Structure 1
Amino acid sequence: MQQKVRVLFVCIHNSARSQMGEAFLKQAGGERFEVRSAGIESGRLNPLVVQAMKEVDIDISGNKTKQVSDFIDSGELFDYVITVCDETSAERCPLFPGQALRLHWGFPDPSVLQGTDEEKLSAIRSIRDAIKEKVKTWSVTV
């Protein structure tokens, strides 16, 4: 049996973008990938992101946020580390030790969206759909 490709999605708080990336790759990649996500800092799941994911039949409400340091401290190794920070926060996205191939996919940060919850949710749907498309396209090339 072929070994699974190990992937870690990283963003600032593990509250939105990295959670979505993890969920979509698990969905698209099936048995081919072992997927995790983490943040550079502690965070809480964004409830609007949870709602947006439920709209596409993915329930992340039970997910816990994790920190990159937990994976570093445990010595876990990954084939790919994919940072999903937006361009203005890219310098805060951590580098991960080891031989992992590092990819950067810049997406806007849902935590800084302004407006009503409905306006934020509309923007999150766009981010969600962009992440889904990127994951889907990438997963068939690996």
Structure 2
Amino acid sequence: MNTTPIKVLFVCVKKGVRAAIAKAIVEQQSNGMIQATCSGFEPGEVPLAILDELSSVLDVPIKTESKTVFEYKRTNENFDYVITLCDQISHEQCHVFVDCVKVICSHIPNRLSWTIPNLGAALELSGNERTMFVKEVVDQITFEVAQLVANTQIKS
């Protein structure tokens, strides 16, 4: 039986919030089977309104990391998977982002793309609408993580 954890890097276009959510959920669901790291393309602070909504929706704390995907490339860290989280519907230019990550992480054998709405859109909403939007994003990430955990259990 393989006891070495699978190393996953989650990357999203902006500040890495969706990646941080995925990391927190993986850590909760994988029982140490998956070692996750998260990053974004832009350093900076996450809006407090988003963090407040996440704390009411998630039962695990998230830690946003300031390290960008470019810093991981410089250190040449090895991962088993790189998973991009982007929103093809918004103006994130998902195809350009995914192609860029493929170039940056060309040495990583498994690259997946998850279509997850940008949490920045929640800032345009208020009250229950904002909470429901954030909950839907978290539910989508939770579903994708569950699939990843199930697939990695099959392979090990």
TM-score (norm 2): 0.80
Shift of 1:47: 2.9
**Secondary structure at 1:137's aligned position in 2?**
helix
Task: Give the distance between the partners of 2:54 and 2:43, measured in 1 at CA.
Answer: 21
- Determine the structure 2 residue equivalent to 1:63: 64
Give the structure 2 partner of residue 107 of structure 1.
Answer: 116
In 1, distance between residues paired with 2:50 and 2:31?
22
- What CA distance in whole angstroms lies between the structure 2 residues aligned with 1:44 and 1:13? 10
Q: How far, CA to CA, are the matches of 1:25 and 1:45 in structure 2?
A: 21
> 1:40: how far off?
1.6
CA positional deviation for 1:118: 4.2
Percent identity of paired positions between Structure 1 and Structure 2: 23
Change in CA separation of 1:48 and 1:16 when aligned onto 2, cut-off 3 Å: farther
Q: Distance in 2 between matches of 1:18 and 1:12?
A: 9
Q: CA deviation at 1:68?
A: 0.2
CA distance in 2 between partners of 1:46 and 1:25 (Å): 23
The runs of 5 or more residues in structure 1 that have no matched partner are none
Q: Count matched residues.
A: 141
Distance 1:28 1:51 in 2: 23
Quote the offset at 1:20 in angstroms. Answer: 0.7
Structure-2 change in CA distance of 1:122 and 1:20 (3 Å): same
Cα distance in 2 for partners of 1:104, 1:139 equals 15
Structure index of larger Rg: 2
Task: Output the CA distance in 2 between the equivalents of 1:53 and 1:115.
Answer: 14
Q: How many Å separate the matches in 2 of 1:19 and 1:131?
A: 10
**Residue aligned with 2:78, SS:** coil
- Worse-superposed segment, 113-122 or 94-103: 113-122
Contact 2:16 2:64 in 1 (8 A): no
2:129 partner SS: helix
User: Please, what TM-score do these two structures have when normalized by structure 1?
Assistant: 0.87
Higher helix share: 2
Task: Report the equivalent of 1:82.
Answer: 83
